[in-house]
Amino acid sequence: MAEEAPLSYQKFKETVRFGEDISGPRYNNFYLHFVTEGAGIVYRRKNYFVRFQQEQAAMEAYLTRAISEAISEKSVERRQALEPFESEMHEAYIVMRGYGVRDEELFA
């Protein structure tokens, strides 16, 4: 079976349903790669992310700082806090897909 192509920017950020009462951006938990505490620790230890950190240090540092700050603002809904960074997250997604990582793992 052929490998699926990475998602376009529009598909990456489009709103989808995850359950009867839950919807959100298709990228779901991808942003957790750029969170240094809680569940983010698990994502940041994955081999493909360690490679991303080494090869894309400036992009990783920027997204980690920006996303961590944005989601720490409790008065802002998570999706709204992440919207300004969706383009850069998509760029990071494209790089990680280039490592052979599937969407299911990146978005879990």
Sequential pLDDT tens for the chain (108 residues):
456 899 999 999 999 988 888 888 999 999 999 999 999 999 999 999 999 999 999 999 999 999 999 998 877 899 999 999 999 999 999 999 999 999 999 999
Which pLDDT score, from 0 to 100, does residue 64 have?
98
For residue 68 the two structure tokens come to 């961590």
Q: Structural domain boundaries of the chain?
A: 30-107
Backbone phi and psi for residue 24, each to the nearest 5 degrees, phi listed first: 180, -175
Which pLDDT score, from 0 to 100, does residue 2 have?
53
Which pLDDT score, from 0 to 100, does residue 75 have?
77
pTM for this prediction: 0.92
